[in-house]
Chain A
């Protein structure tokens, strides 16, 4: 018996090992996050949290450059564009772009120097974004709209990227050259956008966008709009507001204002306005009410189903496995008529096997023996 049990255990172990081996071998080696990490405020290479081991890194063949900000007035809006060219072959064509102030991997986001990210290239307000390089293209440009630090001085900016390769690729990284720029105090009478003005960065499809331009020291202004890379058109200004026509398809347009006043005329940077499809959004109340309803429903169903089946079942496992005299009638096992004599239209009459010379098994009643005695004699419960 012991020998048989050991053989059974060994067979079970072999099966488990075989299943585990199949599962391990069927898993392919893959990049850590092929779907990206999502836009967020991040330090360079995510602070080295994932790729601190040099064996898990590779250098990107892409050329990364960062353009000088469009204006350098302290506390005023400006734009910074990162150009990525010669983008290498990549399975997902997904590239993560960091806008940073140093390459230390800590305290390196623009916010640490007093920059305020008004809009990132995806319409958010973060320094790390992910974008896809279009099929057939090897370059991509992304632009941040920033509010310059309020204190004049010298500041650095640089860009870093990471992306995947083909197949089982390690993480691939690349950095731009650091650019230095001198932020200066604007003249007092400089025509400018008000410090409270935040240009909209996203909008829904088929909705026109009305913008009230808040300005300081401005007597007149002209607004231009363009599709990126195309000729610009001038927008009509009515009562200090202008309207950007609705977008039919997802995409972006750019607009800028030329401000006139006592001081020299000023041009704002091109502000990007991204049109997005309305995303799906769950109604929180409906979702969580349904979740709690499912919780209680599932619990109730399991409890009720058990109560229903319990009356039809008697469990002898405890008695069979461990010879305990205090047999609990609540323990259940399906009753299967054993060696019963079935006569048509007559009640089932079980045949009671003979009680062994050593007597009933410990904890058994005669009724249990009547039903399960034959199975006991066959050795099923030992």
Chain B
């Protein structure tokens, strides 16, 4: 039987590989080089990474031997991966609505931030599993967890913005 840890590794490698490729695509878009190819590669790779990201998160949660999240690195991994998921979904929805390449620096910049966050999540995983990471200089003992009311407000704000954007898009 394949353990959740092994499945987490497989899905994580798919996510990291695809997001790394997407990051290169967004970098080229940002530098205004090979726009057509970079646009296609960046968004397709990000879409591929996004399909595996929820699986990686779920297997990662099951792979945690403790019933509770008792490590700050794991808590940061959860928060960062969900944030990156949100950014990536926004970037892809924008691209899909636009029906073509989006120019300007904002769009590829957000894409690069999402890719960077995923790579940071992977790096934190290396720190957790092996005790070492290229990003060793990052603080390991800090995790910001909001009270429920603050998270609820942020959630409402997010849902409001998504609804508003959807309505505006329908109006054309």
Contacts and interface: CB of A to CB of B under 8 A. Distances in A.
Given A289-B151, A331-B100, A295 B158 contact: yes
A35 B103 CA distance: 45
Contact of B104 (A38, A293, A309): A309
Question: DSSP class of B's interface residues: helix, strand, loop or mixed?
Answer: helix
A292 B155 contact: yes
A309 B106 contact: yes
Interface in A365-382: none
Contact of B168 (A287, A307, A330): A307
B129 A35 contact: yes
B148 interface: yes
Contacts of B87: 298-299, 302
Interface string A8-46: 000010000000000000010010111110101000000
A300 B100 contact: no
B68 A315 contact: no
Contacts of A279: 70
Most buried by B among A33, A38, A281, A284: A281
Interface string A290-325: 111111111111111111010001010110011000
Nearest to B144: A290
Nearest to A279: B70
Nearest to B39: A317
A321 B36 contact: yes
Nearest to B61: A288
Contact of B129 (A33, A284, A297): A33
A303 B91 CA distance: 8
Contacts of B97: 330
A287 B162 contact: no
A234 to B, nearest CB: 37
Contacts, number: 186
A126 to B, nearest CB: 10
Contact of A291 (B65, B79, B160): B79
12 contacts: A33-B131, A286-B148, A291-B79, A293-B151, A294-B79, A297-B86, A299-B90, A301-B158, A307-B169, A318-B100, A321-B35, A334-B104
Contacts of A313: 103-104
Nearest to A291: B82
Given A293-B151, A317-B100, 8 more contacts: A286-B151, A294-B83, A295-B85, A298-B84, A302-B90, A302-B94, A317-B36, A318-B101
Contact of B145 (A282, A300, A317): A282
A111 interface: no
A327 to B, nearest CB: 10
A291 B165 CA distance: 21
A52 interface: no
Interface residues of B, number: 60
Contacts of B150: 290
A331 to B, nearest CB: 5
B148 A328 contact: no
A315 B100 contact: yes
A238 interface: no
Interface of A: 12, 27, 30, 32-36, 38, 40, 92, 279-307, 309, 313, 315, 317-318, 321-322, 328, 330-334
B157 interface: yes
A334 B157 contact: no
Contacts of A284: 68-69
B25 to A, nearest CB: 13
B51 to A, nearest CB: 16
Contacts of A294: 79, 82-83, 86, 154
Contacts of A328: 99-100
Given A287-B79, A303-B162, A298 B86 contact: yes
Contact of B68 (A27, A282, A290, A318): A282
B102 interface: yes
B110 interface: yes
B70 A281 contact: yes
A287 B151 CA distance: 9
A298 B151 CA distance: 13
Contacts of A290: 79, 145-146, 150-151, 154
A300 B159 contact: yes
